[in-house]
Structure formats: structure tokens, C-alpha cells
Chains A and B, each alone.
Chain A
Amino acid sequence: MSQPKTLIDKIWDAHVVREQVGEPSLLYIDLHLVHEVTSPQAFEGLRLSQRSVRRPDLTFATVDHNVPTTDRSKPIEDPISRQQIDTLRNNCQMFGIHLADITSDDQGIVHVIGPELGLTLPGKTIVCGDSHTSTHGAFGALAFGIGTSEVEHVLATQCLQQQRPQTMQVVVRGQLAPGIRAKDLILGIIAKYGTAFGTGYVVEYRGEAIAALSMEERMTICNMSIEAGAKAGLIAPDETTFAYLRGRKYAPQGELFDEAVSLWKTLKTDEDAMFDQTIEFDASTLVPQVTWGTSPGMGANVTDKVPHPSDFADPVVKRSVQLALEYMGLQPGTPITDIAIDRVFIGSCTNGRIEDLRSAADVVKGKKVSERVSAMVVPGSYEVKKQAEREGLHQVFLDAGFEWREPGCSMCLAMNPDVLAPGERCASTSNRNFEGRQGRDGRTHLVSPAMAAAAAIAGHFVDIRTFS
């Protein structure tokens, strides 16, 4: 019998084009997703070296980072954003790449539309010039972010030179309590193990709490793997995965789908397969999470208080905590639920999917956004937007006083006009609370969609478990 293998190794081995001792492997890439920010210099590189795109038919582009989330019928005001979007348009035309352009029904955040369109499938190697490519791992794909030089490499060769990664399993035992979501889980894991526990590893999430998650929630988990430093995060495909994918636009159809499912069913870690590293997490005692600092690992239970730098022994950590609290304008010892907010952002590739909007809408239904708060919902894609509108969720949000926007990355990174003003404090469903991420001197607290929605109503953080 052959050696038992992890899922990660199975996908890896199926994609090795060439192996040579002392050199990285040449790894085949099945799907290359492209967006406007990290691709212009790659296409320019191709032109300069007179190379072409090897497999335009395995390449798919969209615009998401720069697009305005207000009226799309008007031209984009910012000339540099407009130029970047035009550049992608021209490059796609020149190299024959399919583009889900700003007015396309398929447009959206690249990590939302890949799965939605059935481009993301189990067993694939998927790359994109974007660190949150790890999202696609939720389908049992090996998906990771790359830099622009590597974007060029994939365009030219459909391959990457890669060292075989180390493997780690994160075993999540128990079940999440009602009201606790995938976002709380991944924030909880990162708060416990730090923002670098995954560095050098591809992580497989396993255990009963993971198996019970919906695809949307699995995507939230895998999405934030990069916030733990991991190269990629993935979850073995199962019936939940297959049910999600059946009938998707670019997924195999009919009999071909069933054939694909039999192949996909082989995509799991063999019993007795060895991981290079294992960590465990108990989901059953988890409570809602809120970050208080400027790194996703600086998180606390909603029932806790803002920590004091002196709670930390390591001098480097102590100093980071001090800087973070200064930046965030927080006093040590403040109960998390006493932190008042000015803005709420529900959206991003972490939490801009239909289920996220449903869970937020559940909370705001029949209530009003606090007078001190301005709140917005930015669906992750047109498809999410249309689905939400079919379900009447947009009306729930509008009635409560939220803004209802066009899809895009929006205030997750604030490259478009959606920006925090200096000193503004935001409850955000996105993935990064770095200094300046949502606008210079803006203060970001990462939370789940339900927690963000509840904070919008209350005007400060509240424990969703007791909120009514």
C-alpha cells in the first residue's frame, strides 16, 4: 500500500510538473484569478519580454479593489483608479482573457465570485495576486496569494516554482454555541496562537466544528488563514461542498458533475497521514470576538476588557500593545462593550456573502441604526446583491438606516472613496485592522457580521448572545 497522505500532499503531488533535487518544484496552476491592482506590471513585463499568456482559458479577471460602490453608470471620478481599470480592460483584450467587468453580472470581489461562479473547484491549484486567495481553500483547493512577479510567471508559464510547504492541521473540537460564527472562530484561533503560527505551513482545518460549517463560513475561516501567516488554508470537500457547487455557472454540469464528485471524494487526508504540526482548538467555549488592536491577533472576548501593556511579559509584544492602544485611542481596562463606534462596515471577501448579510439582517430587522453611527452594507458581488434583494434583505438594511451599496472591496482597504476619517472608529466585518487600513488614523475593530450589525444599532459593541 502507498504511504498515507494528507490532502495537501495529494493536491500537491497531482500538480508537480517537474521535480529536481535542490530546486523548487514546478507546480501547475489550474486557475489564475486576476484583478486590476496587482496585474498591470505583470502584463507590462510580458510585453517587454515579448511573451504571451500561456493559458488564457485558465485565467479569469475582474475589477474589485478600486471600483466605486455608488452609482456605476457614472464614470469613475478618480483618474488613477480609472486608468488602472482601463489598463486591465486593455490587457485582457490584448491577451484574450475573460473579464467580468464593472457592469457584468459576474462582477464582484475576486474571492467571492470564484466560488459563486463554480470556477473554484476541489483539487485545483488556484492563485491570484492577492493574499486572501486562501479563501478558495474552503473547497478543498490549494489556493494561495502571490506577488506581481509570480502573476507574470503564471501568465507566461501556467506554473510556479514552489517549495513543498510544511503541513499543519488545526483540529477544532466541539461545536460553536448559538450566535457564535466562523468569524469568531478564526479570530479566536488567531488570538490564541498569534499572527504567525501558520508561517511556512499550509493548514488543513479539521474536526467536527469545521464539518458542521456552511460553505460561506468555511470561506471565512480559510480567508483569514493568511492573517495567521499561513501560505494557504483548506478544508476537505464533502457533501456540503458538492451541494454548493452543483449547477454553478462554470462547474461541470450533469453527468460530468457526478464524475467530478467521485474524483473529489478522494480528496481527503488518509487516516494515519502525518502532519508536520498539529494545533487544537475547543470551539464549544468560544464567545463572540472583538479585536482591540492593530493586528488581527489582538483580539478579546466581547465580555473582556481592553488589556494593559503590562499584562504582556515579552518586551516586543508589550511595545506593540502600547503602540496599538495609542493608535486605537483606547484606555487599558475599558470593557469592550463600552467602546463606542462611529461607523459600521459589513462586506469584504471575509464576510460579504449572502449568509453574512442574512445573519446581519436578522439582527437589525425592525431596529434603527444608532444616531451616532453611519453604517453601510457592501455585498461581495452582484450575485450576492441580487440574491439579497430577492430576499428583501436590502429593505431591512435600508429601513434600519444602513446604506446599501454596489459590490466591491470598498472600505475593507479603502482604495475607493469609502474611507474612514481620522479618529473614526469602525466595527468592520473585514479581515485587517492594520494602522491606516480603512483610512489614515482610522480605527478598525474586526467582528462577525452579527456583531457588527448589533454594534450599529447599539452604538457600541454588545454581546450578540444577549442582544435583543
Chain B
Amino acid sequence: MEAFHTHSGIAAPLSRANIDTDAIIPKQFLKRIERSGFGQFLFYEWRFAQDGTPIVDFILNTAPYDKASILVAGPNFGCGSSREHAPWALLDFGFKAIIAPSFADIFYNNCFKNGIVPIVLPDDQVQTLLELTAAKKGTVLTVDLEQQQVVLPDNTTFSFEVDNYRKMLLMNGLDDIGLSLQHEDRITAYEKNALFARPIA
């Protein structure tokens, strides 16, 4: 995983609540067995008509938003299916950070595993960003993970919370499986007295 410190990029507004992972990446694209190449299918049914032609007024199809790397969206972003194909598709499209008033748990978690920063901001600040990025095409925002801030073009800053441990993993691009395996002796000791585990014989 790539380490994340700060990122500046074009922000795209997607002013909807409850954007679910079925919308982010429809199921017909879940059959691939790789992690890469999902970006072309991102928001497929919003981006493309039945016959595969791009829907011109969908925001991510219009320049300069097609180069966006920060997404601003409504509450409960990423609800629904646990598919990690959703962050894979967002990442593959070029998104590095997603800003919303709230996220669904599994999606939130999946973002960190893939080097995307999910940022929770209060409703009014998200509203400001939605309006700003819609009104002024190509608005560049900066996400500073170290300082836990979103920086607007006029240098206004919005602070966000992020769990310290997850921040540390992201900033160092660390593999958490490797970290867990450092405690293998503890796992083995636990297994000796595990109360509820039952081998499937």
C-alpha cells in the first residue's frame, strides 16, 4: 500500500445520501479475480447508458471532474454490500480521499486498507464543500493527513478526526497482516484455551 501524507487534487461533488456499494460498483463487475482494473466500472450505471455510451451530464464524465481525486458526498456513503471492489474502483479511478458527513462501517474500514482516506466532516462543512466544488469547476482541495485537515483554496481549514493507529498505518503504508503476525505467540497461546472455536472435521 502507498503511504499517504498530503494530497491536493480536484474535488467532485456527488450530492446524494446513501450512496451504496452497488452503485459504486455494480455486481456484474464483481466477477473479476484481480484487484485492479475496476475504475472503468466505477458508478457504472450513472456514468454509462444501457448501450455503453457515456452519460454526458454525469459529473465524473465532465472535465475537469473526470480528473477528480477527492470525492465529496452525502451521508451514509458506502452502505450496503461489503465488497472491497468499491474502494478498489474508487482508487483505480484516481480517488485518494472521500469526504462525507458519515460512512458505513465496512466501507470506511475498507478505505484504510487501500490507502484511501475517508473523511468525516459536519453536515454544514460538507455542504460548503459541495456548493464550492459545484460552483467552481476544478476547485482543488488539499487533504493533510498529518495535520488532520482539509484545506480550501482560500486557506480555510476544516479539521477532521481519525483514529491514531489507522493514521499511523496509512502514513507509513504498513501491512497490518504483518503487524498481527508479530503476535503469533499470543495467538498460539490463545488457541490452547479457546472456548468457542471448533475444528470442522
A and B bind? yes
Chain A interfacial positions (CB closer than 8 Å to B) = 14-15, 17-18, 22-24, 26, 28, 30-31, 37-38, 40-41, 44, 49, 51, 54-55, 57-60, 65-66, 78, 80-81, 83-84, 87, 98, 119, 121, 123-125, 129-131, 145-150, 152-153, 156-159, 161, 163, 195-196, 199-200, 229, 231, 250, 252, 263, 295, 316-317, 319-320, 323, 413-415, 422, 432, 434-437, 440-441
Q: Are B196 and A440 in contact (CB under 8 A)?
A: no
In the bound complex, how far is the Cα of B71 from the Cα of A172, in angstroms? 39
Question: For A18, what are the chain B residues with a Cβ–Cβ distance below 8 Å?
Answer: 183, 186
On whether A131 and B196 interact (CB within 8 A), knowing A81-B31, A435-B22, the answer reads: no
Complex interface bits, B1-32 against A, C-beta within 8 A gives 1, otherwise 0: 00000000000000111101011001110111
Specify which chain B residues have a CB less than 8 angstroms from the CB of A60 in the assembled complex.
200
Known A26-B186, A153-B180, A422-B50; contact A436-B196, beta-carbon cutoff 8 A:
no
Interface residues in B153-201 by Cβ distance below 8 A to A read: 163-165, 175-177, 179-181, 183-184, 186-187, 190-191, 194-201
CA distance A18 to B113 in the complex (A): 21
CA distance A316 to B35 in the complex (A): 33
Question: Is A196 a contact partner of B177 (Cβ separation < 8 A)?
Answer: no
What's the nearest-Cβ distance from chain A to residue B93, in Å?
18
Among A65, A149, A231, A413, point to the contact of B114 (Cβ < 8 A): A149
Q: Please indicate the chain B residues that have their CB under 8 angstroms from the CB of A252 in the complex.
A: 198
Cβ contact within 8 Å between A320 and B16: yes
Give the residue of A55, A84, A131 whose beta carbon is less than 8 angstroms from that of B81: A131
| Interface hit among B55-63, B103-111, B134-142, B144-152 | B103-111
B118 sits at the interface (CB 8 A)? no
Q: Determine the chain A residues whose CB is within 8 A of the CB of B31 once the complex forms.
A: 37, 66, 78, 80-81, 83-84, 415
Q: Separation in Å of the A4 CB from the closest CB of chain B?
A: 20
Q: Inside 8 A of B199's CB, which chain A residues have their CB? A: 55, 57-58
CB of B39 within 8 Å of the partner chain: no
B-side contacts of A414, CB under 8 Å? 27
* Residues of chain A within 8 A of B181, CB atoms compared: 51, 156-157
Q: Please, could you name 26 A-B residue pairs with CB atoms under 8 Å apart, sorted by A?
A: A28-B197, A40-B34, A41-B33, A54-B187, A57-B199, A58-B199, A65-B30, A66-B31, A83-B31, A124-B198, A130-B82, A147-B82, A148-B84, A149-B110, A152-B177, A153-B177, A161-B176, A196-B75, A199-B104, A200-B105, A295-B18, A413-B81, A414-B27, A436-B45, A437-B22, A440-B45
Q: How far is the CB of B15 from chain A (nearest CB, A)?
A: 8
Given A81-B31, A131-B106, A432-B22, CB of A28 within 8 Å of CB of B187: yes
- Please give the residue numbers on chain B whose beta carbons come within 8 Å of chain A beta carbons, in ascending order: 15-18, 20, 22-23, 26-28, 30-35, 45, 50, 74-76, 79-84, 87, 102, 104-106, 109-110, 113-114, 163-165, 175-177, 179-181, 183-184, 186-187, 190-191, 194-201
